[in-house]
Amino acid sequence: MNGFWKERRVVVTGGAGFLGARVAEKIAARGGLHIAVPRSKDYDLRDASAIRRLLAAERPDLIVHLAAVVGGIGGNMANPAAYFYDNIMMGVQLMEEARRAGVAKFVAAGTICSYPKFTPVPFREEDLWNGYPEETNAPYGLAKKMLIVQAQACRQQYGFNAINLLPVNLYGPGDNFSPDTSHVIPALIKKCADAIRSNAPEIVCWGDGSATREFLYVDDAAEGIVLAAERYDGAEPVNIGSGMEISIRDLAHLIARLTGFAGSIRWDASKPNGQPRRCLDTSKAEHLFGFKAKMPFEEGLKRTIEWYFSLQQA
């Protein structure tokens, strides 16, 4: 139990989703008694009047803004305008209406896609503005990045306590396995599972496999967000990650081994790699609010694969 949450009225946008459900559960486990999870069918966060209705109904002291329109490289390339518009309109209006309504604290989840394409590795928060994001996900990354500008401006002008967190690529049970919008880990798991089921001799993966990524287990990400809500009140954005780095080629072979797919892996270099490298410096999160990822990567992958295979057998 944690006294921080007991008397607070909390709104978790996206609280029924992959990450948000874990955040809401962790807040409840810490003693939170008033946790509202608005659904898009009731409150379209792109509509300022709907946001005002939500704030009037729930009267939150703290908002954790996790609602987002997200996808992998394919989803970003197919929907750049929607990803930009939906994310910026939800975030900008929600923060402004929260400020006007007197909400005491606003926690915004940004994205690693906000970093410049050629950020030195490991990514440090100080490098966030030193270049343009990778082109395939720049509209999404920039929409989220504007919330950092807004939060800092509102802090400067109004003393509004808004913080920004930059989570790296998430994975885990309950992830999105849709072929059109999934990220790389669920996409690879699904490719291997489908190949096993159909006795296909190979799977085809995007790019040449040279790009690297960092991954964070979804429950670790939720813990980081809750700790920041409790303990961090600073103006600067903070990375939330595991500090590991793996190439997409090595990731594909690891997932093939863990799923039991014994065929070959073919790389389609006509498709984009995305950002060349991605790995975070996570020292600030540990120093500022005591967050350090706990889930070993291979164990997290095994749990994700087991969850997905259990769905297929149901």
| Mean predicted lDDT score pLDDT of the chain | 96
**Model pTM score:** 0.95
pLDDT, tens digit (0-9, with 9 covering 90-100), for 98-151 = 999 999 999 999 999 999 999 999 999 999 999 999 999 999 999 999 999 999
Domain ranges of the chain: 3-172+215-244+278-295
Q: Does the pLDDT at position 1 exceed 60? A: no
pLDDT, tens digit (0-9, with 9 covering 90-100), for 22-52 = 999 999 999 999 999 999 999 999 999 999 9
Q: What is the pLDDT of residue 313?
A: 82
Q: What is the pLDDT of residue 272?
A: 87
At 153, list the tokens. 């401006």
Q: Amino acid identity of 226?
A: V
Q: Where are the alpha helices (DSSP H) in the chain?
A: 3-6, 20-29, 48-58, 73-78, 80-101, 138-158, 184-198, 218-231, 248-259, 283-289, 297-313
User: What class does CATH assign to 3-172+215-244+278-295?
Assistant: alpha beta
The whole-angstrom separation of Cα 135 and Cα 269 is 17
Q: Which of 43, 140, 232, 308 is catalytic?
A: 140
User: What b/e string do you get for 141-157 counting C-beta neighbours within 10 Å, with b at 16 or more?
Assistant: bbbbbbbbebbbebbee
Is 115 among the residues known to form the active site? no
What is the pairing mode between strands 105-109 and 9-13?
Answer: unpaired
SS (H, E, C) 199-262: CCCEEEEECCCCCEECEEEHHHHHHHHHHHHHHCCCCCCEEECCCCCEEHHHHHHHHHHHHCCC
